[in-house]
Amino acid sequence: MTMTEPLTLDVREILRSGGEPLPKIMQAVGRLAPGQPLRLLVTFEPLPLYAVLGRKGFEHSAVRHGEGDWEVLFAPRGAEAGSGAAAVAAVPHTSSDEWPMPSAVLDNRGLSPPEPMMRILEALEHLAPGQVLEALNEREPVFLYPELQARGAVIHTETVGEGVRLLIRCAG
């Protein structure tokens, strides 16, 4: 299956003028043909949108082109990854099949060690066994691993752009 040409939506102007782009995004999602991805141009990484569209069956991959300039590709699950953002930072096949959707998302970028580790361990305490936490970090949290191991949690790490994306499943 070849990937359909994505529908591009640029909401950077709306965001810069302080507007709410969600209705336009959801409209665009409604207009998508079966299997067609959405290419979204935004001023920041739209973390809450990941969960919203994730529930609608979309995988996301984001590329930061510069300060206040993000390109995020939302591809319907099962569509073959093509060029552009998806090729750079595609979520590995196994993660979406074998891991449940994240119940919480933490953006730890812009924080220096050990703050990301503290936030992750704190967030995990609020999750039920088996639930997944998604965290975006500046770098691999090497000191976190022994703690996760001691707590019986499982982690999947992948490089995304200049940082790393972590999926952590609570023990249970």
For other proteins, the closer CB: 1 or 150: 150
The CB-of-109 to other proteins minimum distance in angstroms stands at 9
Residue 122 makes contact with other proteins by CB under 8 A: yes
How many C-alpha atoms does 132 have within 13 Å on its Cβ side? 16
Residue 97 makes contact with other proteins by CB under 8 A: no
Could you give the strand order of the β-sheet that contains 132-137, starting from the edge strand earlier in sequence?
A: 102-107, 132-137, 163-169, 154-160
Is the sign of the CA dihedral 16, 22, 27, 33 positive or negative? positive
Residue 107 makes contact with other proteins by CB under 8 A: no
For other proteins, the closer CB: 25 or 124: 124
The CB-of-88 to other proteins minimum distance in angstroms stands at 16
- How far from 135 is each of 3, 8, 36, 110, 162, CA to CA, in Å? 28, 26, 27, 13, 14
Q: Which of residues 63-92 bind other proteins (CB under 8 A)?
A: none
Residue 110 makes contact with other proteins by CB under 8 A: yes
Of 129, 140, 159, 172, the residue at the interface with other proteins (CB under 8 A) is: 140
For other proteins, the closer CB: 12 or 119: 119
8: three-class secondary structure by DSSP: strand
Looking only at Cα atoms, what is the longest distance across the chain?
A: 47
Q: Which of residues 143-162 bind other proteins (CB under 8 A)?
A: 143, 145-150, 155-157, 162
Token pair in block for residue 127: 């999750």
- How far from 46 is each of 35, 62, 71, 118, 172, CA to CA, in Å? 22, 9, 10, 23, 30
Interacting residue ranges for other proteins, rule: CB under 8 A: 110, 112-114, 117-118, 120-125, 138-140, 142-143, 145-150, 155-157, 162
